[in-house]
């Protein structure tokens, strides 16, 4: 009778422990998922802020470069007319390309075109994106860490 009681109590205790372990595992899984979602959101927020800074930089640069280009274009045109040398107008061509690029980056569709091209590369040219020696693994990192470690902990 005493042994029978121990078996029943052990079964109940074991069943309760299994349920607790299962709920703990579910909680840990949910927590890991929540942490991953937050991490992804944070990375995306940082990416968006960096892109906004890049666009803002292009717009700010465009103001200064546009002013420089305008003054240079007027001066070079006046010099070409005054000296009767059309060669003075040649620098306007490359400067015009730079001005157009910066305008397209700051206010045009350059970023959308770059995004489209990046998506195309991801879909059709995957092999160009592979890292040398393949993806980094935990084992590779641990091996490198152990080789570089100045301490003799877990070597």
Task: Determine, yes or no, domain membership for 88.
Answer: yes
Q: What is the pTM of this model?
A: 0.67
Q: What is the pLDDT of residue 17?
A: 75
**How far lies 81's CA from each of 78, 89, 104, 116, 143, in Å?**
5, 10, 31, 44, 70
Q: Which domain holds residue 9?
A: 2-123
Is residue 15 included in any domain, yes or no? yes
Q: Cα–Cα distance between 86 and 78 in angstroms, integer? A: 10
In a domain, 62, yes or no: yes
Asked if residue 138 belongs to a domain, the reply is: no
Residue 30 half-sphere exposure toward CB, CA atoms < 13 A? 6
Sorted by sequence, the CB contacts under 8 Å of residue 141 that are 6+ apart come out as none
In a domain, 96, yes or no: yes
The predicted structure's pLDDT at residue 133: 86
pLDDT of 32: 93
Closest CA to 88 of 77, 102, 72, 100: 77
Tell me what pLDDT residue 20 has. Answer: 85
Q: Which residue has the tokens 């879909």?
A: 123
Q: What is the pLDDT of residue 100?
A: 97
Structure tokens at 44: 């995306």
Burial of 125 (0-12, 13-18, 19+ CB in 10 A): exposed
Domains held by the chain: number: 1
Residue 155 lies inside a defined structural domain of this protein: no
**What SS3 state is found at 118?**
helix
Average pLDDT of adjacent 10-residue blocks, the chain of 155 residues: 54 72 91 94 97 96 98 97 95 97 95 96 93 88 85 58
In a domain, 108, yes or no: yes
Is 135 a domain residue?
no
């Amino acid at each position: 009778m005493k042994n029978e009681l121990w078996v029943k109590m052990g079964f109940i205790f074991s069943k309760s422990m299994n349920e607790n372990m299962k709920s703990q595992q579910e909680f840990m899984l949910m927590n890991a998922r929540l942490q991953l979602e937050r991490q992804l959101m944070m990375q995306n927020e940082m990416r968006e802020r960096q892109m906004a800074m890049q666009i803002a930089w292009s717009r700010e640069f465009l103001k200064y470069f546009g002013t420089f280009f305008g003054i240079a274009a007027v001066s070079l045109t006046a010099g070409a007319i005054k000296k009767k040398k059309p060669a003075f107008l040649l620098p306007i061509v490359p400067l015009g390309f730079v001005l157009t690029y910066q305008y397209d980056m700051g206010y045009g569709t350059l970023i959308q075109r770059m995004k489209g091209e990046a998506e195309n590369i991801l879909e059709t040219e995957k092999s160009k994106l592979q890292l040398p020696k393949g993806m980094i693994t935990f084992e590779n990192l641990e091996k490198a860490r152990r080789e570089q470690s100045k301490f003799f902990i877990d070597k």
